[in-house]
């Protein structure tokens, strides 16, 4: 019997009315915002912060069409994988709580002896995201004994498809390697996670080095975006690089690094906040669409899914 796969993603608002509940679900997750407060106070505080942020974030979503593409991308990808792998592929949207029961019911309908492999759509592991997903299922579906692909950021197929995606983009836009600078913009993470043993930064750096080694002699930088709240985060920030970078290359491409689907942090943050900084400084600045847009992605994702080591939840959550 073939395994079933649990395709786990972040989730994103499907329409304007989803935004507040999405933000509340996200910011009240102690894996994301920390557990330095008693649970009841943490939920109350971050629910308040989420509701305060909701009008501003709603306007940003309206700017990109009123919704996030992540939900539909994940649903479509699960169906494509199911058709290709000839086995159940169940989508999961971490911060859309009204979809969780559907996922749990789909799991409960599987045969008791069928292996279930969780596939988080995040190339680089962090306890804040993949760890939160694993913890959710350990809490709500422990009896299923799900195994997990913890990360795939240095998997040969991920490196290969990213290189091909970048090369095709440069070809389409008639940009030569010699006149191009690449900014690999990964999601940021508070330094307190790194100090507590989170491997995210090391995995990002290893993946980045593999990519630039395969791309050849191109000026490239790794940076981090989407800082939220106080405290120190991974550096350098993408905004800082955009403001201070000096290069003789005319074209600067911002690459969503570790983002599988486009969403508010690529369609709004990169497109509307970072590219204009570079444009005003005289560069030709472009955003690489997320890897989901590549027609090669599904084939390479299948290689990743079927050729990656799996591990148990014990190694992926902090108790």
The string of pLDDT tens digits covering residues 179-193 is: 999 999 999 999 999
**Residue list, annotated binding site for Fe(2+):** 187, 265
- CA R_g for the chain: 19
pLDDT at residue 26 tops 80: yes
The string of pLDDT tens digits covering residues 189-235 is: 999 999 999 999 999 999 999 999 999 889 999 999 999 988 999 99
Question: What's the mean pLDDT in 274-286?
Answer: 99
Using an 8 Å Cβ cutoff, are 161 and 300 in contact? yes
Domain 4-153+298-315 and domain 156-293 have a common topology: yes
pLDDT given at position 289: 99
pLDDT at residue 247 tops 70: yes
Q: How far is CA 93 from the centre of its chain?
A: 12
CATH topology of domain 4-153+298-315: Rossmann fold (3.40.50)
Return mean pLDDT, the chain: 97
**Coil, helix or strand for 146?**
coil
pLDDT given at position 242: 99
**Coil, helix or strand for 181?**
strand
Percent residues over pLDDT 90 in the chain: 95
**Residue list, annotated binding site:** 187, 265
pLDDT given at position 113: 93
d(CA 190, CA 151): 19
| pLDDT grade for 125, boundaries at 50, 70 and 90 | very high
Name the region of 183 (left: φ>0; alpha: ψ -120 to 50; beta: rest). Answer: beta
Q: Identify the sign of the CA torsion 158, 210, 278, 10.
A: positive
The string of pLDDT tens digits covering residues 50-92 is: 999 999 999 999 999 999 999 999 999 999 999 999 999 999 9
For residue 3, give the nearest of 113, 105, 108 by alpha carbon: 113
**Tokens for 109?**
């309908």
d(CA 97, CA 263): 18
**Sheet with strand 251-257: strands edge to edge:** 219-225, 180-187, 251-257, 284-287
The string of pLDDT tens digits covering residues 151-182 is: 999 999 999 999 999 999 999 999 999 999 99
Q: Which residues contact 7 (CB under 8 A, 6 or more apart)?
A: 74, 77, 78, 81, 89, 90, 91, 92, 119, 121
Candidates 3.40.50.1400, 3.90.1150.10, 1.10.3720.10, 3.20.20.80; correct CATH number of 156-293?
3.40.50.1400
pLDDT at residue 319 tops 80: no
Domain-wise residue ranges, the chain? 4-153+298-315, 156-293
């Amino acid at each position: 019997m073939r395994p079933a796969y649990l395709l786990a993603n972040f989730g994103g608002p499907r329409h304007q009315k989803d935004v507040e509940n999405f933000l509340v679900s996200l910011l009240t997750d102690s894996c994301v915002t920390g557990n330095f407060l008693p649970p009841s106070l943490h939920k109350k505080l971050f629910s308040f912060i989420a509701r305060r942020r909701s009008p501003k974030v709603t306007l940003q979503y309206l700017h990109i069409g009123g919704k996030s593409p992540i939900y539909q991308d994940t649903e479509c990808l699960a169906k494509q994988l199911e058709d290709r792998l000839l086995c159940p592929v169940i989508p999961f949207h971490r911060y859309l709580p009204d979809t969780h029961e559907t996922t749990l019911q789909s799991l409960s309908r599987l045969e008791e002896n069928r292996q279930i492999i969780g596939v988080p759509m995040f190339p680089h592991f962090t306890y804040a995201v993949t760890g939160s997903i694993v913890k959710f299922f350990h809490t709500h579906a422990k009896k299923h004994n799900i195994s997990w692909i913890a990360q795939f950021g240095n998997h040969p197929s991920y490196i290969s498809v990213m290189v091909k995606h970048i090369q095709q983009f440069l070809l389409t836009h008639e940009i030569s390697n010699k006149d191009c600078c690449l900014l690999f913009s990964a999601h940021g993470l508070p330094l307190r996670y790194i100090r507590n043993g989170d491997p995210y930064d090391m995995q990002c750096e290893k993946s980045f080095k593999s990519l630039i080694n395969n791309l050849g002699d191109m000026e490239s930088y790794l940076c981090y975006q989407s800082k939220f709240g106080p405290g120190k985060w991974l550096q350098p920030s993408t905004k800082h690089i955009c403001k201070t970078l000096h290069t003789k290359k005319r074209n600067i491409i911002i690459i969503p690094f570790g983002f599988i689907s486009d969403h508010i942090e690529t369609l709004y943050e990169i497109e509307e906040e970072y590219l204009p900084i570079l444009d005003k400084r005289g560069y030709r600045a472009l955003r690489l669409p997320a890897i989901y847009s590549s027609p090669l992605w599904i084939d390479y994702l299948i290689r990743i899914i079927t050729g990656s080591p799996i591990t148990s939840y014990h190694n992926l959550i902090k108790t």
